[in-house]
Structure 1
Amino acid sequence: MNTDPNHIHTYDEQGRRTCCTMEEHVYEKAGASDLLDAVGDKQIPQVQPKEYPIFRLFLPAIISLVLLLLGLSFDQGWISRPAFFAGWVRIGWYAAAYAPVGLPVIWEMLQAFAKREFFSEFTLMTIATIGAFLIGEYPEGVAVMLFYTVGENFQSMAVRRAKGNIKALLDQRPDEVTVLENNVPRPAKAETVAIGQTIQLRPGDKLALDGELLSDGASFNTSALTGESKPQTKTKGEPVLAGMINLNRVALVKITTAYTDSKLSKIIDLVQHATTRKAPTELFIRKFAKVYTPIVVLLALLITVMPYFFLADYVFADWLYRALVFLVISCPCALVISIPLGYFGGIGAGSRHGILFKGGNFLDTMAGVKQVVMDKTGTLTKGVFKVQEVLMEEGFDQQEMLQLVNALESNSTHPVATAIHEYVGQVDRSISLGHVEEIAGHGLKATVDGKELLVGNFKLMDKFDVTYGADLSDIVHTVIAIAYDGRFAGYLSIADAIKPDAAETIRQLKALSITPTMLSGDKSAVVRAVAEKLGIAHAYGDLLPEDKVNKINEIKAMNVSVAFVGDGVNDAPVIALSDVGIAMGGLGSDATIETADVVIQDDAPGKIPVAIRIGKATKKIVWQNITMAFVVKATVLALGAGGLASMWEAVFADVGVALLAILNAVRIQRMKF
């Protein structure tokens, strides 16, 4: 319920609020401390963080409530009117009721004063409640501070709930692993394991580093990374990622990535920085609160003093009471709490579904997307190619040419290169390649015994004036053309399967009134065939990376918000250019994941409409809270200034609206998308 963007609340294990400033923690300047204390440094503990007891959190409020109700019953004669309950005894009773909830707030105010922060909600609440005591409104002074404290407690509970999904993700990385050395297992710290070492995973163990499965097969729970509960079966040679849980048998994994460079480490870094990127709405409210609070204090002072100069029957206590009511109503707690909490909830909901938003601002952007542009390979198709056909021209030995192609493609990490390697087999290391060069959007070029070898698409053939049959470009498969010594040598056709949820993804996007578009560097014939199967009206093939950039610029020129989804290194420029870039995080390149604003961890295109729906739901809830807070506060402020609202209405306008806003904000974490 903080009104100063430089003044941050965090909570200890018992739920007590602690006070920090931006100098004490770099992320807290952006208001991210409430989530970052769940993340900490990169060393995530194996055990669940200790949860403070709810009863202990609410104990001061319970004590205050009991004393307040007893005091009201004595005052109103609900039970009896004891003679002793008068004068200093009555004042002392209500002071005792005030102390458990009021003294911590006064202490917070004094701490803020020491840091030259004079206009916070602590100041507003302290002035309002002590002022109520000074004019004899003891029960109302206690009630205001009591309900304020209850609101703070519910805030801490709501923040803890918002952290829950992210904590579940972060706790998936163990600190220790079992390393095999000469077939002897020994425990070791995960961060000390070197690339190339082999670790042993027993059933139930969590993988701490990325690697390659050495065992014949194993089943893994990948929900921490993908948000999907269905186990995945991996076979020998397939990649396995940190955070996966071995389910059925002892498995051996060869480490391929350092601890700090694993996919899960990168995900943790993304989460750490996600809450520091504020949505425009959130930034506006924080700036608004910083200016708004001192203005409110000045207006309250004017409400108290100015009537003296204009009214003959001026009564100081009456106008002071109106000013105190005005102060309580005006506290912008509902706005300052519920808006960041709404975005925290959206980020947490995304994490639960295997979608990482790198900031609240991207939730807002996703809500306004009107066109989703997708790459084909690895996004709508599996990116797992199989060689279908090999055809060589007369005068070329097929086995010899395949060995040359395999040797050249060993310099590439593209899925096509993997397919060729699986088809041909081991690379012949006796082949000497010279001047190896990758030509973006075309293919590979090298020299063999002084003769030029070209392996790529037909644009590569055209670039080097290699003649080939005109009908070859119409083959409805991905074709890898081969030229040797200036002559067309033949081709390999490679097929890629469409992802099972790709067609449903397109249907859902259309249902959201979003236009799907496909861009690809693959042949136009292949792109058209895939687009027809999926129902995509706008599809373009034979595109170089710069052509994709031009297409995105053309779409943006129509003044529509564009999201681009891709997974390859050559997709990084268009991801950066689009309004929101979405990366496929499983097969995707590190460059693309780093550039993207949203990361889909399991490569499922079905998560694209889910991400859009999460963005829309988050924005809707945030604006519901803003509207509710402004309407209620404006109404009760007017009534309070006119003397028609008491402290009780003020309590509802402040704490009541804040509680309603909190409940509305956490609702997003229970929604189904």
Structure 2
Amino acid sequence: MTPALVACVLLAALPAVFAYAVPVARWVARARGRAAGVFLDDRTALAVGPRVDTVLLDRWGTVTTGQLRVVAVDPVEPDHERNLRWFAGALGHAAEDPVSQAIARLSSRGKLSQVEQHGSRGISGSVDRHPVRLGRPDWLGMAARDDAGVTLGVQVDSRPIGYITVADDVRPHAHEDVARLRADGVEPVLVSEDSERNTRGLAEACGIAQWYADRPADTRGALVDERRRTGHVVAVAGPSADREADLLLTDAADSTRGIRLADLDVGRVATALALTRSAARAATRSRRTGLGVGLLGVVLAATGVLAVPLAIGWAVLGCGLVTATAVGRAAT
């Protein structure tokens, strides 16, 4: 076998050798992901992620912090505000629903007794020996309010003393992170079990054009199926992600399928999908670079420009170039 032929055989085998750049690119993406609270341990997720064009965002924890917050405290009389905060907050400690827990942050617990739950109407009890009721205004005989969010009335010693309004705690950078998704070719869709009015307001605050209200978690499979039937590749981000989705993004510690996140922050969702895309781009670029370097080397060897020692050097240089390409692309 002539030296030129040996060089050609050596360089012709380079594209197969360069295949190792693909796992290198994925390793880099996983390392970057772990640093950002994104765990790309599922190989299927790395393959599906680059094709996702729609992500359903659960209201809880993605564009919101997963909690509610008090957005308005409206006493009947200006000098009632301190009492309104104290009595409502103290009684709020006796309930575990998100609205009551948001109100509970207005004050400490106080001395609670005779606490009684009244279903969806509200809660009553004694705070520092004062009878207090916290709940729907109509239950308390108070005028209805048309505020966005959830507005509860507060009654102390059988007298109404004011209203407290609670709404979603929107993440500070939700609007920017939603824009990141859209710039990356992924359409965000908000899904909520809340009312149409509140869901629309949340979507507008976050820059989301498509949204669905009154959709409990166990009814969302139909949304996934509908999108998939129209040719979309659908990801779902939420605490109880739908198993029919093409890709799951969840914060469940025991999740072995899809992409696991440190939390469901929409910014982390955008980062996760961007990392799968960068890994895919790195793999594609590496394959093309490897093929190009190998073919050019074969041509140079066949024309006698590259002898065996130079062919070996060319191969080493090519491996370094392809590795650098894989690492560089996966890191952007």
The residue number in structure 2 matching 1:80 is none
TM-score, normalized by length of structure 1? Answer: 0.38
- Taking the TM superposition and a 5 Å limit, the aligned residue runs for 1:289-304 are none
Structure 2 gap segments, 5+ residues each: 76-83, 126-133, 154-162
- Find the structure with the greater CA-based Rg: 1
The residue number in structure 2 matching 1:572 is 240
> For 1:580 and 1:427, how far apart are their aligned partners in 2?
47
Deviations 1:97-147 (A, max 9, x none): xxxxxxxxxxxxxxxxxxxxxxxxxxxxxxxxxxxxxxxxxxxxxxxxxxx
SS at match of 2:328: helix
SS at match of 1:536: coil
SS at match of 1:496: strand
Distance 1:427 1:560, change over 3 A: farther
The residue number in structure 1 matching 2:30 is 347
> For 1:525 and 1:612, how far apart are their aligned partners in 2?
30
Distance 1:670 1:512, change over 3 A: closer
Decide whether the 8 Å contact of 1:478 with 1:523 is kept in 2.
no
* Cα drift, residue 582 of structure 1: 2.4
* Cα drift, residue 640 of structure 1: 6.7
The residue number in structure 1 matching 2:209 is 537
Decide whether the 8 Å contact of 1:368 with 1:561 is kept in 2.
yes
Decide whether the 8 Å contact of 1:349 with 1:668 is kept in 2.
no
> For 1:498 and 1:400, how far apart are their aligned partners in 2?
26
Distance 1:564 1:628, change over 3 A: same
Counterpart of 1:519 (choices 186, 191, 194) is: 191
The residue number in structure 2 matching 1:381 is 64
Counterpart of 1:654 (choices 292, 315, 318) is: 315
Specify which structure has the bigger relative contact order, considering alpha-carbon pairs within 8 angstroms and separated by 6 or more residues.
2
The residue number in structure 2 matching 1:476 is 148
* Cα drift, residue 479 of structure 1: 5.2
Task: Determine what percentage of the aligned residue pairs are the same residue.
Answer: 20
The residue number in structure 2 matching 1:334 is 18
> For 2:175 and 2:322, how far apart are their aligned partners in 1?
38
Amino acid at match of 2:204: E
The residue number in structure 2 matching 1:628 is 289
Deviations 1:59-90 (A, max 9, x none): xxxxxxxxxxxxxxxxxxxxxxxxxxxxxxxx
> For 2:194 and 2:152, how far apart are their aligned partners in 1?
10
SS at match of 1:594: coil
Distance 1:390 1:545, change over 3 A: farther
Q: Does 1:358 align with 2:19?
A: no
The residue number in structure 2 matching 1:557 is 229
* Cα drift, residue 319 of structure 1: 5.9
The residue number in structure 1 matching 2:101 is 418
SS at match of 1:521: coil
The residue number in structure 1 matching 2:278 is 617
* Cα drift, residue 560 of structure 1: 1.3
Amino acid at match of 1:386: V
Structure 1 gap segments, 5+ residues each: 1-317, 392-397, 438-442, 449-454, 458-465, 482-490
TM-score, normalized by length of structure 2? Answer: 0.70
The residue number in structure 2 matching 1:28 is none
* Cα drift, residue 523 of structure 1: 1.7
> For 1:595 and 1:432, how far apart are their aligned partners in 2?
42
* Cα drift, residue 385 of structure 1: 1.9
Distance 1:616 1:622, change over 3 A: same
> For 1:560 and 1:546, how far apart are their aligned partners in 2?
21
Deviations 1:492-547 (A, max 9, x none): 64122322211112222222232121001122211111222333221111211122
* Cα drift, residue 444 of structure 1: 11
* Cα drift, residue 374 of structure 1: 1.1
Decide whether the 8 Å contact of 1:372 with 1:562 is kept in 2.
yes
* Cα drift, residue 320 of structure 1: 9.1
SS at match of 1:578: coil
- Taking the TM superposition and a 5 Å limit, the aligned residue runs for 1:577-596 are 577-583=244-250, 590=252, 594=255
- Taking the TM superposition and a 5 Å limit, the aligned residue runs for 1:4-153 are none
* Cα drift, residue 389 of structure 1: 5.9
> For 1:543 and 1:358, how far apart are their aligned partners in 2?
30
> For 2:103 and 2:266, how far apart are their aligned partners in 1?
26
> For 1:595 and 1:545, how far apart are their aligned partners in 2?
20
- Taking the TM superposition and a 5 Å limit, the aligned residue runs for 1:86-235 are none
SS at match of 2:240: helix
The residue number in structure 1 matching 2:55 is 372
SS at match of 2:109: coil
Counterpart of 2:200 (choices 522, 528, 532) is: 528
Number of matched pairs? 305
Distance 1:476 1:595, change over 3 A: farther
Amino acid at match of 1:578: A
SS at match of 1:525: helix
> For 1:428 and 1:620, how far apart are their aligned partners in 2?
61
> For 1:401 and 1:656, how far apart are their aligned partners in 2?
71
Decide whether the 8 Å contact of 2:52 with 2:186 is kept in 1.
yes
The residue number in structure 1 matching 2:129 is none
Distance 1:429 1:578, change over 3 A: farther
The residue number in structure 2 matching 1:667 is 328
SS at match of 2:204: helix
Deviations 1:357-401 (A, max 9, x none): 23454234332221122122322123242274699xxxxxx9999
Distance 1:601 1:533, change over 3 A: same
The residue number in structure 2 matching 1:48 is none
Decide whether the 8 Å contact of 2:11 with 2:295 is kept in 1.
no
- Aligned Cα root-mean-square deviation (Å): 4.7
Decide whether the 8 Å contact of 1:622 with 1:665 is kept in 2.
yes
> For 1:426 and 1:577, how far apart are their aligned partners in 2?
43
Structure 1 stretch 353-362 or stretch 642-651: which is displaced more?
A: 642-651
> For 2:190 and 2:274, how far apart are their aligned partners in 1?
21
* Cα drift, residue 553 of structure 1: 2.1
